[in-house]
């Protein structure tokens, strides 16, 4: 789904997913409903030195203002939670490519997947600790807010409760939440990474089932969606770990199927089609002289009408600025890049030299041949972040 970059914090791009753009106004409206305001007021009264003035917060347009402030405050809190993960990851030299906020919260996307249990433990637990610190800060502020400012009292108290809830909820031992990663980190001390992941993923799916049952019984639709997401994400995490173990020690050059010359940008589409038939290849890097300028595959060539194939040049049909990877890179990194770029083929190049292309099919075929796993073509490598 589409993401919008809205800025950066400490050089980390911050992105909003379209699901959040659509959901945020709805969330603000839901929070503004009288029954929700009353429920949150009850929770705030537990931590506030002053009781919430229900009449004041329910008058006029105040509920809508409170709903908007609470919804925005929630996702700002989620952003700070993700920054806690990100800043800790940087301390362990793990790069963060971006933070994405979406309907289910946030995700800090890592450039590497740490397997050291100590590194994963501290990165994972940093988010809940950050939320606890935020909750403590809002709780402290709540002690000095006068009863004569009921709206401020409500917002500050709600943010204290929200951040405490974020910390507790994220520590449930269920992927992709932080508690699941903490559990895996602790298990890795006495087990292989793959075994620890499978155990943690199974526990996560168990919690997802319990959440789904509770959601159905209580009529909590959003919780049901979260439970479904957690169940699927836990399974994806387990598959990702299995694939990474299978590809360990294998480089892109070991699996490079499409080798040979690139195609010149001024080649006609018809000439390339004839070459594809003769060489039985599905994609070519496109060059001008020695410079890589694009990638052309059958998918692009099919879009060229037959009547124009003799006159149209490859440069007019190719994908420009194609994703590239070094031949010495891990094969798993190639699979991650293909998934990240949402493409089925990337160019293998280094230091101005083009070696060929590698596709998702090449990688999946290699996996099936090595392990006899059957069809693994639907594997997605998306488990690269902390929620």
Catalytic residues: 82
Structure tokens at 346: 């990337």
d(CA 251, CA 231): 32
Q: Phi then psi for 98, rounded to 5 degrees?
A: -175, 165
CA distances from 346 to 98, 152, 284, 337, 372 (A): 22, 53, 10, 8, 25
Q: Which residues of 85-119 are buried (b: 16+ CB within 10 A; e: fewer)?
A: bbbbbeeeebebebbbbbbbbbbbbbeebbeebeb
Q: Which of 156, 157, 169 is nearest to 222 (CA)?
A: 169
Q: Is 143 exposed, middle or buried (0-12, 13-18, 19+ CB in 10 A)?
A: exposed
Q: Phi then psi for 324, rounded to 5 degrees?
A: -125, 160
In the chain, which ranges are continuous DSSP H helix?
Answer: 18-32, 34-47, 54-57, 62-91, 117-142, 150-170, 178-188, 193-218, 221-247, 252-255, 269-279, 298-302, 314-317, 331-341, 360-371
């Amino acid at each position: 789904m589409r993401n919008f970059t809205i800025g950066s914090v400490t050089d980390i791009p911050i992105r909003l997913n379209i699901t959040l753009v659509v959901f945020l106004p709805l969330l603000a409206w839901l929070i503004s409903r009288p029954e929700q305001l009353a429920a949150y007021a009850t929770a705030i009264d537990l931590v506030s030195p002053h009781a919430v003035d229900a009449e004041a917060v329910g008058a006029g347009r105040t509920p809508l203002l409170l709903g908007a402030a609470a919804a925005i405050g929630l996702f700002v809190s989620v952003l700070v939670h993700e920054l806690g993960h990100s800043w800790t990851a940087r301390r362990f030299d793990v790069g963060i490519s971006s933070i994405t906020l979406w309907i289910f919260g946030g995700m800090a996307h890592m450039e590497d997947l740490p397997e050291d249990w100590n590194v994963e433990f501290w990165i994972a637990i940093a988010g809940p600790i950050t939320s606890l610190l935020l909750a403590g800060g809002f709780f402290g502020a709540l002690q000095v807010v006068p009863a004569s400012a009921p709206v401020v009292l409500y917002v500050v108290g709600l943010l204290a409760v929200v951040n405490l809830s974020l910390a507790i909820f994220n520590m449930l031992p269920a992927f992709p939440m932080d508690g699941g990663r903490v559990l895996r980190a602790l298990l890795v001390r006495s087990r292989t990474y793959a075994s620890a992941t499978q155990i943690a993923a199974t526990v996560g799916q168990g919690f997802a089932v319990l959440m789904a049952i509770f959601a159905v019984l209580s009529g909590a639709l959003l919780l049901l969606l979260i439970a479904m997401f957690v169940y699927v994400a836990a399974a994806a995490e387990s598959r990702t770990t299995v694939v990474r173990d299978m590809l360990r020690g294998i480089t892109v050059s070991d699996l490079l199927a499409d080798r040979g010359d690139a195609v010149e940008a001024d080649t006609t589409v018809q000439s390339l089609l004839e070459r594809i038939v003769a060489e039985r290849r599905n994609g070519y890097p496109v060059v001008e002289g020695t410079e890589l300028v694009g990638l052309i595959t059958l998918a692009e060539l099919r879009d060229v009408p037959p009547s124009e194939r003799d006159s149209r040049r490859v440069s007019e049909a190719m994908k420009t600025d194609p994703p590239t990877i070094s031949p010495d890179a891990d094969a798993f990194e190639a699979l991650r890049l293909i998934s990240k770029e949402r493409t089925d083929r990337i160019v293998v190049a280094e230091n101005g030299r083009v070696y060929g292309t590698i596709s998702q099919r090449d990688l999946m075929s290699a996996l099936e041949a090595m392990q006899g796993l059957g069809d693994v073509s639907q594997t997605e490598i998306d488990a690269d972040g902390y929620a």
